[in-house]
Structures are given as structure tokens and as C-alpha cells.
Structure 1
Amino acid sequence: MTKIIQKVNAVKMEPPRKRKVAAYARISIEKGRTPHSLSAQISYYSKFIQGNADWEYAGVYADKAVSGLTTDRPEFQRMLSDARDGKIDIILTKSISRFARNTVDLLETVRELKDLGIEVRFQKEKIHTLSEDGELMLSLLASFAQEESRSISENVKWGIRKNFQKGIGNSFHIYGYRWTGKEFVIVEEEAKIVRLIYDNYLKGISAEKTEKQLEEMGVKSYTGGHFGNNSIRQILKQERYTGNTLFQKTYIEDGKTKYNNGELPQYYARNTHPVIISEETFNKVQEIRQKKRELGAFANPHIKTSALTSKIKCTHCNRSFQRAGKKNKTGHTRCWMCATRKAGQGNPCGTGDINEEQLKKIISEVLDIDEFDDEVFLEKVDHIDVTGKDHLEFFMTDGSLIHRTYASTARKDAWTPEYKERYKRIKRSKDTNGLKNPATPYTGFIRCARCGNSFSGQRRTLKDGTTEYYLRCRTKISECPSNTIQESTLNALVCDVLDLDEYSEEAMDKAMDYCEIADNTVSFHFRDGHFEERQYEEKKRGTPWSKERRKKALKGMKEYWSDPEHRKEASDRMKKIRKEKKWSSQ
């Protein structure tokens, strides 16, 4: 009996792909949370993920001291970005409240991840978002978490306000003091710096100069970093250095800190801690600060001011227009622009630049004077409101209001006859001096033998996709019917005249002064005074018409002109052209 042996090819089994697992951790800004809690979460998740043989560790994303009411968290956003890039399959998190406290944000984020095939596992609630009942349970529990967060927030705020009424604060970090757990004590080394800052200000020394002085002294800020001028200005308005405390200067709304401008009550408590700056010194500094705010730019002797300084107001952002220098074709000019725009914050107000010379002309017209006068302007104009890109409102000192429209003529004014001539000379030479269109090898080299104008380079793309460069006279073809020449043809003629193997711009410029072109003739004028002529012919580009194409075109023209309306339309058009150009009918 014959044995039959069948050969079977073994199939190589691929091991299952490990799922990329990451974790998200967060500690909030609530009282009692510590950085140790965050590091403990990171350590736990790192070990937990790496201890699973079926998982690939994709990292732990952790936000420190941020609210869960918003998704605008650096690490949270980085995690979502990596998830979109396919770097994560599963996200682990302790609970719903750690992931997000806002129900809408939570569901939107989970649904986006679900569409990407990414599962979020909430360990405390035992919810897996890719399961059938995952989203329903998540919606219910997220609502409870959001309400719990709101309730806790209201309770915390109530407790803080009660403490404010008793003279107990909730901020324990201030340069010059240290909190012992029961009271503030003075740190004398820092207190000396606070007194130096106040003393400098009373002597007229700016915050910027004090900043440099502290840097030279090696003084660091409360956090150990650079002592900036903004920190110095904050110290100058900090009432706590007088031993008194103004509570609830700021408040938190929608997770953002805002200044309290009367939205909530404030509480002023006296003698809450030791004194570093006397109330008399503090009040003097506040008086000077207030005067400087009222004076604006005039308070700083280093700022160049004019009669227009602080007089032009933007009605959209309530800031003044500031003077700025602009470079145009004729040199530098002065203009005025909204402070918001000048600060590089875009142009949300929609106002434009106002040329200073043109503004002075408008002011002279409003005041009915021959030319702008500082004293007359300051005497008769209280301020000018800019309400749009082209509208000015003059508020006069006598109480009257005058409206004026503004249209910039700065660009037009810059094109003086002198500049036009200079621009032409630059365009005709290879020294384009940074103009938009760079020079070509033949810039300023070719002249028209008919009209004397220069040639300009142009480019056209042929049907086969290749690009062809050619040169033609700048004068209108109706006024000077000069022929064109391809750049490659002229290159070949230069090589022939100079006996070169290949074209060289340097050799051409060294030997020749210019060339003239007309009637398919190029006349090369050398620097030594002699000239040489060369004839050239170029094939006309285009596809020749076949007999069928000519026949079809002729048929179409006959059909078109057999229509009486078309003939009448053409006749009327020619009559109009003759009339406009004053052609004679005879």
C-alpha cells in the first residue's frame, strides 16, 4: 500500500500587538493638595502599566495645581494630541473628577477619543468608555461630579469670605515675609530690598533701573528667579507692607483669576502683621503713581512727546494713539497708531495708521489756520476720537464736536517726480537696491533701436510644459512695433560675438556697454567704442492649423456674421470706438 505524504507550509504566527497604554493624573488647586500626591500618582501608574506584559508603556501625563473645570491644561492637551497621532490605545485615570469636572467637556473629549478607537478607563467608577453602557453611566456620574465640584467651590468661597470678615487671609506668599503657620514674620534681608524699591521710586528712579540695580546686587525674587520690573511694580502697590491687608482684590470665575472691580465686596483689616513700610511712605508712592497715570507718556522724561501725545484716543479699546516711525519710498515718516496695535496685539479695533503730516493738515483745516500750531491746538482741542479707519471726531474745549473723514494719501505723496526718476534709474540698472523684482543678466543692457526705451524680461509656459524667457520693448506695441527676442537666442549671439563656449554674464558686462535691437538685428556696443551687428530669426511658436480646423473656423464665422443682431452689435461697437477716439468717418 502506497503511503501519501502531503507537504504543508508552516504559517508563521505574528505575536499580538501590544496595546499602548497611558495614564492621566491631576492635582487641583484645592487646599491640602501637595506635589507629593501628584508624584505618587505618577509612580503608581508607571509601575502598574509596565507590570502588564500585554501593554506598552506610553507615558503618564500629569497636570499640577490646575482646575478640572476646563480642558485648557498643558498635559491634558498634550495627551489628546498624542492620542490623535496614534500614540495611545488606552488611557487610565483615577476618577471622572480627575479627568474633567465639566460634563460637556468630559463627554466631548470621551466621544472624540471613542471615534479614534481609544478607550478611557475610570478606575474608581469602574467604567470603560468602549463598553455598551459606558457612555450612559459616564453621563450620570459626570453630572454628579460637576454638581459636587460646584458645591465644594461654593463652600470653599463661603469659608474664605467668612475668614476675610475676621481678618484672616488665604494668601501666605509675599516677598519680605514668611508664614510660620500662625503668623507672618519679617525676613529682614528681603525687607531691605522692599524699602530700597520704595526709596528708589520716591527719588524718581524707574522700575527698569531698579531692576538692573537688583540684578547687579544678585538679588533674586520670591521664587528664586530674576527680579523683573513687573514684580517691582507689584511691590509698589502692595498695601500689606504697611501691616494692613485688603482682602478679595481678585476672585476666580470659570477657572480664571480676575481683578475685583466692585463685583464682590472687599474687606480692609488693620494691624494684621508686622510693618515694613510706613503708611505715610506708601500713600506718597500711591499719589505719585496716580499722577503718572494721569500724565501718561508725559510722566516719563525719556519718552519723546509732542502736542499730539495722549490727545488721540481709540474709542474701541480706550487707549491712546502712539507715535511710530515708518519707512517708505522717500525715507522715514511719522504716523500715529492705536497702542493695542503697536503693542503687537493685532488690529482688533479696526483702526489704521494716521500719517502725522496729513493729520496736521486736517487739524489746521478744523482750526482754520494756515499751518499746524502746537499752542493753538492745545488751547482749542480737548482730544480727538478715532471711531473707525477713516473717521475722526474733534472734541473742542468750547464743548463743540467736529467730524472729519480721513483717507490716507501717504502712498500717493511718496511718489514725487524726483522719486519716480530715481525708481526708473534703479529699474534700468542691475543695482535694484532690494526692489521686489530682482535684476536679470540683461537688466539695463538692452535698448530699443526704434524708441530708445529699455527691454523687460517676460516668461511664458509652452504647451509641452516648458518655460520660455523672452525680452521685449517696454513701450506699448501700438506705439513701437519692435520685435521680441528669446533670452536663449540672445545668449547664443553674445557667445558668438565674444567667441565664448558658454554664456557668461561677467564676460559680457566686462566687454560690452549695451546692445540695441530692432528688425531682427542686434547691435552690440563695446566699451572700447566699436560695435558689431548680428541677425537672428526665431520660429513662431504655436500649432499650425489643419485644413479641417480652418474649414470649421470659417463655417463658424459665417454662421456668426449671418445673424443680423451680431452685425448690428459689431457696427454699434465700432461707431462707439470711432467716436471715443475721434476718428474721422471720411
Structure 2
Amino acid sequence: MKDTFQERSIALYCRVSTDEQAREGISLDEQQERLKAYCRAMGWSEEPLLFIDDGYSAKNLDRPELNRLLKEVKKGTISKILVTKLDRLSRRLLDLLKLIDMFQEHNVSFISISESFDTNTPSGRLTLQVLGAVAEFERERIRERVFENMLHAARQGKWLTQSPYGYRLQNKELVIYEPEAQIVRNVYDWYLNKGLGYYAIAKKLNEEGIPSRQKKEWSIRAIKLMLTNPVYKGTLFWNRMDSSKSKRVKKDDADWVVLEDACPAIIDQATWEQVQKRVNKKQMAPRAQTSPHLLGGLLKCGRCGSGMSIGWSGSAKNRYRVYRCSANKNKGTCTSKQYRADDVESWFKHGLLKLADSINSQMIPHLIQKAAENEESTIEQKIRTAKNRYKRKVEAYTAGLIELEDLNEEKKRMEQIIAEVQKTENASSVDVKKLEAMVKEKMNNVIDAIDVLPVPEAKSLIKTIVEKVILLDEKDIEIVLNIQ
């Protein structure tokens, strides 16, 4: 079997900078002669290829002849690379290891004759492993220093990356950029008050010719990121994601850096919280949102609770739309019958009118109770999260991983969250008349829109006030309101 190394060429790499030649008397001719003599001593009779960089520093790898050598390595034409000393290739250990990794990937031996370093021998590979361990330690120390500096800057309220849409950076601090900030406000309003979803908002912005920061079209992902970014309520979050691995993962929330009121807010706190409630609620399928049928995605079967899908019935000359229980249609597990869609939508409109007329001060306590139950669950979650964060910080302090100052900061943060929650609970008295007026206004807007707007737009408005519609029987429907 032929030795594949012998079918390829030996490369001699020589380098000298002007300063080195003047200071140390290192010449290119001397390097070439020593390398050729080594080849003769090893019995390698073939004529080697020369790669000579004259007057180039080893501080970086951007050198003409080195670049040409690396191209030949990638082509597979080189078997061995010889240098007189390791620093001829690079003076930086990390760069040196990076090049050696490439050589090994292409089955190329690397030999430095002064240090008796040959990656094709056991001792050479051992030396390489030691150098690699030192380099890894150096990388970790650099990473630690960078992290500590960035952590300090973040705690001072400095913004550490590219400014988000709606802001500009001045002295590493965020300032509102009004032309974009107004777009952010519009997006929050369309999502919360107009009932538009991510897709509909992205489409609307693109149709209006409003570019994103990168001058590209808006996407569903970009809209969701905007609606969930806490910076818009003035909160700075940093160190949430671990980017050291190939796939970014969310870190434990105890490791996050969180600063409230760290930058000017574009969206008020109450609006941002309401948007998060809707974001975290199970969303209607995109297909249902754009369905040309008024109750698509909203209508539920009164017998089994499954969604009711649209279909067609009747003869070829007399086809009509019907709503049918999905469990009945797909599984046969429900005995619900199908209903004419026009009839169901008519019952819904009539029921919504009756509901709007009957909204009064007596119904409001029921709505308040429902909202309070949701709010109580949210409050408990906030307190539980804050206490868990503090508990983990105590464990980290006990293990000597953080300083007492960090622990005290976390304690203050937990106490602040609990105090704000208690303040909210104490001020939880509701203006019944104001809530009644708000509910009536929303319902009247929906009623007015149903027969005027296209179905997808009317449905978006319906979703701002109606959580679901339950079809119990002929002319018997239940409308569940969604009051935030």
C-alpha cells in the first residue's frame, strides 16, 4: 500500500519581518538552508515547495505566501510543512493551534526543527495537547475578564449590544428614536386592541412599506420578539442566553442581570403586561385567524368541548356552509350534529347584542372575579420566581461562587417585587362604572364591525372581547368574554 504522504509535496515555510532581520540578523536564506538540510538528513529526496513571506509580521495570519500555503493544504497537495521555529508560523498560541488543527484535518504533518516538534510523532502530539490545554486556559481567562467587564457595564445600565428597534445608542445608553418608537406603539396597539396576530402585523407593515432596522421585510419572528422584549417597558435584561454552545439555550433565571427602569420606556408597564398575557395564552391557529368564516377558531362544541370546523353540505346546486364538531368529523367520538354556518353566525350576533344590552353593574363583579383569579395566579408566580432566584443565590454564596454584594442585591430585588405586589393588591379596588363603560364600548365596536369589515378583520376585533363561543344546541349559544 502506498504512503499517501509521499504522493504529496513537502512545504518549507519561511518568514521574516524587517525589524527582526535588523535586530536579530535572521535571514530567509539561512532558514531555507536549514530546512533543506533537515530534509536531506531525513532522507526526503524530493524537491520541496517554498513559501516565503519577506517583511511580514507574525502578529496576524494575513500574509500572501501563508495564504497560498493554506490553499494548497485544503487542496490536499501538501504532506508536511516545515519551519525553523514555531514563531515563524505565528507568535500567538491561539493562531498557531488554529493552523495546526487545520493541518491535522487535512492529514498534514507540522514540523518545527528547532523545537524538535513533529505532530506526526507521539511526543509531538503530547506537546500539542499541552499547548492546547494552555491555550484553552487562556481562552477561559479572556472570556472571564470580558464577562466581568460586561457584567459591570450591564449593572450600570449600559447597553452592550446593537440597539433594538425604536432606540438609538448615545454613550452606550439607549435613547428613544421617535420615528421607530411610533411603529413599536402601533404594533402593540394592533396586537392588543385590534386583535391582529404576528402574521397580520408583519403583513401590514410590509404592505405599508415600513422597513425593519436591517432594511428587510418584517417576519413573524421579528414581531414576536418586539412584543416580548422587556426593554420597551424600560427593563434591561442581560445574560439570559448561553451562546457558548452551538445551539443557544436560556440560562437559569438566577444568572440573569435585571435592571428595572434602566432606560426610557416606549410602552407603559400595564400595556406590556397585558400583551404578555395574550402572548402566553394559547393562540388561535394562523389558518383559523385568516379563515373567511366569522367563528372559525372560536366556536366550540357544547357536548365535548372540541373545536368546530367549517365544511360544506347540500347538493351540487345548493351548497351551503356548515359548522361541525371536529371530534365527530375526525374520530366519530361525539354525537353532535352539524349546523348551518349562516344560522350559527346569526345566533352569535343576536347573542352579542343581548349581552351588550344586559351588561350592567350587576355583571361586573363576575368579570372582576374572573380577572382577579387570573391576576392572583400571575402574582403568585412572580413571588415564587423571586424567592427561587434568591434561594439559588444563597446557595451560590454559600458555595463561594458569588460575593455578599451580589446576594444583597438579589435580596433587595426580591423584597422590591413582593412590596410592589402587595401595593397592587392593596390598590385593587375597581371602578365598576369605568369597567362597565369599557366593556360596553368594546362590545359595541365589535357589533358595528361584524357587518362592515372583512371577516378576518372583524374576527380580530371579536378576539379582543370574546374568548370562545360554545354551541350548545339550536339557537342556544354561550359567549365567554375575555376581559383583561
TM-score in terms of structure 2 length: 0.42
Structure with the bigger RCO (C-alpha within 8 Å, sep 6+) is 2
Give the number of the structure whose alpha-carbon radius of gyration is greater. Answer: 1
Task: Give the number of the structure whose residues are more often strand, by fraction.
Answer: 1
